[in-house]
Structure 1
Amino acid sequence: MPLLTDRFGRVHDYIRISVTDRCNLRCVYCMPEEGLKFLPHEKVLSQDEIVDFMKIMVQFGIRKVRLTGGEPLLRTDIVEIVRGIASIPEIEDIAVTTNAMYLAKKAADLKAAGLTRINVSLDSLHEDRFRSITRGGRLQKVLDGIKRAEEVGLFPIKLNVVLIKGQNDDEIMDFLRFTQNKDINVRFIEYMPIGHAGNSWKQKYMSLETIFERIREEGLEFESVESIRGNGPSENYRLSGAQGTFGLIHPVSAHFCANCNRLRLTADGYIKACLYWDEEMNIRPLIQKPDELIELVQKAIDNKPENHEMALKLQDEVTSHQPTWRRMSQIGG
């Protein structure tokens, strides 16, 4: 079977599947304060549809899967979804990105079902600030979830920290110190203009070069390390003497499109070849028609632009494509 390759020679072996657009939090960079109108349940891909879709995709080289949301652990059948995908012989890696509100409760069952790794969204280590950024989250539940994930052997554990100017940028060293005695990868992510009209997002954006500046101000040393196991585009480093590592994901200031190997499937069954652009194609009616489905997936890949041009957006320059209408919670990141 041919591999899924685009016009620029990028081979796609990794897919991020949003299993729900629902979330129990309202993070400031992901969803408006008033929330969003969620999809009715019948519009969301079923467990069988997701697993059947993956049985087709592995025939064309997809080997790695990440389940996202919304919040994927809100799915009452999330363990069964993991088990179904993990049972496909060709699958090499299956991970989940979660806000960890239910992770302590579900970590053991997810591990037993075949989950390989976990990413946890954690944007502050201060209870009040965490509650403000997430609009209602409880920090201790996240920390309990991380601890439980460690206990059941979900490694590596990665913490996703969206750096927000004026809200959590004074916690950079706190997060770096978090890696001193824990085998955890803290990943700083630039604030992105996903789903934002106008330029208001720029007020919260800051370059990740700030991380290096803070480290030098503290008189600390760090070194580059080999890529941490997983599928992410982060550049990884370690503070001298630290057990864990930290990574930088800077899609805006230094985009990583040249090596992009990712596809995305929304909760309502649309394939997206690029996170940022609005082009998407409905594959749901074709899940039982493998030839037509893969033809449509390849069409999406053929239309994939060379890069997402967020850096142009930062400079108020004209971009070549229309940005997506979906908010981050509706795509899955």
Structure 2
Amino acid sequence: MTAVPVTIGRRMPEAPVFAPGSPLVDTHSRVHRDLRISLTDRCSLRCTYCMPEQGNEWLARESILTVDEIVRVATVAASAGITTFRLTGGEPLLRRDIVDVVRRLSAIETADGPVQIAMTTNGIRLPEVLDELIDAGLARLNISIDTLQAERFAALTRRDRLDEVLLGIAAAAASGIRPLKLNAVAMRDVNEDELCDLVEFAVGSGAELRFIEQMPLDAGHTWDRNRMITREEILGKLSERWTLTEIPGRGGAPAERWSLDGGGTVGVIASVTAPFCGDCDRLRLTADGQLRNCLFSTDEFDLLPVLRDAQATDAEIDEVLRRCIWAKLPGHAINDPSFLQPARGMNAIGG
């Protein structure tokens, strides 16, 4: 059987027939090499820019992909040129089988060698499982931290757990896993006075701080462009403390990067004011088996019927991957008056 994409507001272009194993290329000649796999929509925090504190409608447990299903999709994707799998959520460490997920994904081989496994986490469970994750094949780690102030953290995340996040960061710093990156969403009247403090903390932890412009991905759809701290404002604030030297060779990476005089680096992901859509090489798989070709897409391609059809072949999974990629637009259109925010919140899409 072939999955039918959910289409909202526009007709999907028909993809040409590609041979299985050929690169995942869209209509704008972008070759896709990165698959972001959300393992759950649940999280141990309730960040105001992501989730409401109460009343969340969680994905049905029976719809959540099993490890076997995740590995099957990943194996097909790797045969078509995907080389990096980033595990996200929600909070991926809430999956009890997280070590098994990493171990089995890291065993996947491509024509150019083994795939690379990365993870984005809030860090709370890292001290418990990090050694096992590294042994299983975890190669890269991003940890989210928006403030170093306990009261501010509790107000922002609606949970008093900053000490646990800091212990997770300390465990990652001591482990030697590199690159280690700390992600911070820059927010007006929330943490704009901590930008330099966050960078200094990251450098001291052997990590790179990456500031992220706040995006319209909150479940409550309360995002306000006028409240967003822009790339230029971030760089202006950092320039008061450091001389910034741009690092060339960004490629398809989401972050622009600068070296700091005195040592260390910093990155900025400016999805709103300086979109990098023209070089995007990412594809997303939600925890309930929906393929998304853009973080801001209003369209999804349902893999679940294929994965749970005993007669379905890997070629059918490959076909859905290619249809999803072929329907990818040139950009997310956040700056267009016609832009529509995705119905799913960030926790249900995956970072």
Task: Report how many aligned residue pairs link the two structures.
Answer: 324
- C-alpha deviations, 1:59-107, integer Å up to 9, x for none? 1111100000010000000000000000112243111100111011111
What amino acid maps onto 2:314 in structure 1? P
Tell me the distance in 1 between the aligned counterparts of 2:43 and 2:55. 9
Q: Match for 2:243: what amino acid?
A: E
Task: Please give the secondary structure, in 1, of the residue aligned with 2:182.
Answer: strand
Q: Is the 8 A contact 1:68 1:96 kept in 2?
A: yes
In structure 1, the partner of 2:327 is 303
Q: Distance in 1 between matches of 2:203 and 2:323?
A: 46
Please state how far the C-alpha of 1:40 moved relative to its aligned partner: 2.6
SS for the counterpart of 1:82 is: helix
| SS of equivalent to 2:138 | coil
User: Matched residues, percent identical?
Assistant: 40
C-alpha separation in 2, matches of 1:47 and 1:65: 14
2:176 corresponds to 1:158: no
Q: Which residue of 1 aligns with 2:290?
A: 270
Distance in 2 (alpha carbons) for counterparts of 1:112 and 1:271: 29
Shift of 1:199: 6.0
Within 1, Cα distance between the matches of 2:160 and 2:38? Answer: 21
Residue type of the partner of 1:55?
T
- Amino acid aligned to 2:338: V
Identify if the C-alpha distance between structure 1 residues 198 and 269 changes in structure 2 by more than 3 Å, giving closer, same or farther.
closer
Residue among 15, 18, 22 paired with 1:2: 22
1:205 maps to 228
Structure 2's unaligned 5+ residue stretches are: 1-20
Q: Counterpart of 1:78?
A: 98
Counterpart of 2:215?
192
SS at match of 1:5: coil
Partner of 1:140: 163
Give, in angstroms, the shift of residue 286 of structure 1. 1.8
Q: What secondary structure is seen at the aligned counterpart in 2 of 1:178?
A: helix
Partner AA of 2:134 in structure 1: K
How much does 1:180 deviate? Answer: 4.2
Aligned-pair Cα RMSD in Å? 1.8
Question: Distance in 1 between the 2:176 and 2:42 partners?
Answer: 27
Structure 1 gap ranges (5+): none
Map residues 111-260 of structure 1 onto 2, 5 A cutoff.
111-195=134-218, 200-218=223-241, 220-226=242-248, 232-242=253-263, 244-260=264-280
CA contact (8 A) 2:49 2:218 kept: no
CA distance in 1, matches of 2:77, 2:87: 15
Q: Which amino acid aligns with 1:253?
A: T
Secondary structure of the corresponding residue to residue 183 of structure 2: strand
Aligned twin of 2:38: 18
Q: Compare relative contact order (CA 8 Å, sep 6+) and give the higher one, 1 or 2.
A: 2
Q: Deviations over 1:114-172 (max 9, x none)?
A: 00011001000111111111110411211111111122222111101001111011101
Superposed CA deviations along residues 246-303 of structure 1, whole A, max 9, x for unmatched, are 1000000011100000000000000000110210011122235211111111111111
- The 1:271–1:131 alpha-carbon spacing in structure 2 relative to 1, beyond 3 Å, is same
TM-score (norm 1): 0.92
Instruction: Quote the residue 1:28 is aligned against.
Output: 48
Aligned partners of 2:331 and 2:90: how far apart in 1? 25
Aligned AA for 2:341?
A: P
Q: Structure 1 residues 223, 68: CA separation in 2 closer, same or farther (over 3 Å shift)?
A: same
**Amino acid across the alignment from 2:346:** M
SS at match of 2:224: helix
Give TM-score scaled by structure 2 length. Answer: 0.88
Contact 2:24 2:325 in 1 (8 A): yes
